[in-house]
Structure 1
């Protein structure tokens, strides 16, 4: 039987909106963090000092861990090299597998090598969670990926650029989310009826899916998907062989839902 685009079942508006409801509040908090750092950096006749800024960021992070029910496993501010040097004002939560020995309510500062002359130094400005928002000036979701630097588990990293004077990039603020916790939240929201529903990132990698054949982090392959991911237009689109799948962006999250026939 041939399925026409008109017969394709799109994800419901409620499904798409509910996915945005999970991530938009996180980005809203990051926007508040960015504003705080920007106001700190804009103080007249003052020199940026990590010993001053870090406690401000830590206070925000502690509040985030307390309110996240285990979903947030890392958070903070990462400096542009010219602003505070190679510096991560970043904390890991007690739920983080990399924070062994901490109680669930405890957090610890992430210790990294900040001297670029050291052999183990890592240039984080080359990583996606920095590189993309620094280039686009917009919010970005990286992952899912196994974050060996911070979490040692499947992670989504949400980042937002921070500017001084509106144009000078001085860093990014970010939050690491546990994919396991996100999956528990998202699966009940993927109300696509009799069809499988898959949330993917802007690179086409699976965040979560009701199709048991699609693992987290796998690359979803459908004819026309690459071209659709390059188009920010929010309209519903038919995809795949005979137009049997549908594609729709989830607001401004950078995530999309692909719905299609349930696997046999």
Structure 2
């Protein structure tokens, strides 16, 4: 690949990053607000402090995420806070999660912002232990922000989704995660015009090699992209370590998209008439 093509691929990767990074920064901003809020009346709440109650916390979360969810043109369709089990005195398990009017999950076309109706009774057959899910497990393990997906989110969207979560701490302990959901279809609408600027095959993948979007119709969203050497090239993204573009044995270039933990896999354009 020539220098000109290198620069073209890096330009596209930067455009992808500029689409995703505002949502990542927004979630990090929410984390900062919550850690400030929870360092006061909620401080030391693990173990069932009467100050840490869902009825008090929920309006704080709704005020924090509601305006962005209802902003015209917003990429996200759900957002909120998921509490660590036992953090809230009046709710052992609790999702303070709001859905925008664009999120049709269980709403039959609701026209306004609404609260996710989640099953929080562990004795119910419909209950799901969210601490086993990737968007919880990885931030809990690493203490850092994580982008999960694309995956089918049966909890909040029932559709292909990308979820951004970051841990929230009080008194040195993780008390939950704050995050946001975006429909993959909505992200594709923003990203495909960018990928189509690349005249070869251009595919956007997460750190595990799962396809988020591609200008190649043969590469389905959610499928794993299987190319020799790709897993090794993507490995640093699992730890959000920046890396330079890497050329794979087959000639493809893997170009990180900023700090999003996504990467562009760019194949050289075919010669005209080839």
TM-score normalised per structure 2? 0.86
Of 175, 189, 192, the residue aligned with 2:180 is 175
The verdict on how the C-alpha distance between 1:58 and 1:44 changes in structure 2, with shifts beyond 3 A counting, is closer
1:199 aligns with 2:204: yes
- Tell me whether 91-100 or 122-131 shows the greater mean CA deviation: 91-100
Partner of 2:247: 238
Asked if structure 2 preserves the Cα contact closer than 8 Å seen for 1:224 and 1:239, the reply is yes
Higher RCO by CA contacts (8 Å cutoff, separation 6 or greater):
1
Residue of structure 1 equivalent to 2:219: 214
Say if 1:7 and 1:38 are closer, same or farther in 2 by CA, change over 3 A. Answer: closer
Mean alpha-carbon deviation: is it higher for 49-58 or for 227-236? 227-236
Out of 74, 82, 85, which is 1:81 matched to?
Answer: 85
**Which residue of structure 2 aligns with residue 65 of structure 1?**
69
Q: Given the alignment, which residue of 103, 114, 126 partners 1:108?
A: 114
| Worse overlay, 200-209 or 9-18 | 9-18
Which of 54, 59, 64 aligns to 2:58? It is 54
1-side partners of 2:42 and 2:59: how far apart?
A: 21
Question: Cα distance, 1:68 vs. partner?
Answer: 5.0
What is the CA–CA distance in structure 1 between the aligned matches of 2:41 and 2:159, rounded to whole Å?
42
What SS does the corresponding residue of 2:127 show, helix, strand or coil?
Answer: coil
Q: CA RMSD in A?
A: 2.1
- Per-residue CA deviations over 1:25-71 (Å, capped at 9, x if unaligned) read 11111112111221222115862121111111111221111225253
Aligned: 1:148 with 2:159: no
Alpha-carbon offset, residue 141 of structure 1: 1.1
**CA pair 152-22 structure 1, distance change in 2 beyond 3 A:** same
Matching residue of 2:16: 19
Aligned to 1:121: 127
1:81-116 CA deviation, whole Å, 9 max, x = no partner?
13123100001121112122411xx02111122122
Q: Cα distance 1:83–1:194, how it changes in 2: closer, same or farther (>3 A)?
A: same
Q: Identify unmatched segments of 5+ residues in structure 1.
A: none
Deviation of 1:220 after TM superposition, in Å, equals: 0.2
Q: Are the counterparts in 1 of residues 81 and 97 from structure 2 also a CA contact under 8 Å?
A: yes
Relative to the length of structure 1, the TM-score reads 0.89
Aligned residues: 255
Mapped contact 2:166–2:179 kept (Cα < 8 A):
yes
Are the aligned partners of 1:9 and 1:245 in contact in 2 as well (CA < 8 Å)?
Answer: no
Residue 8 to residue 215, structure 1, CA distance change in 2 (3 Å): farther
Contact persistence 1:77–1:174 (CA under 8 A): yes
Q: Indicate the residue corresponding to 1:31 in structure 2.
A: 28
Give the secondary structure class of the aligned counterpart of 2:139.
helix
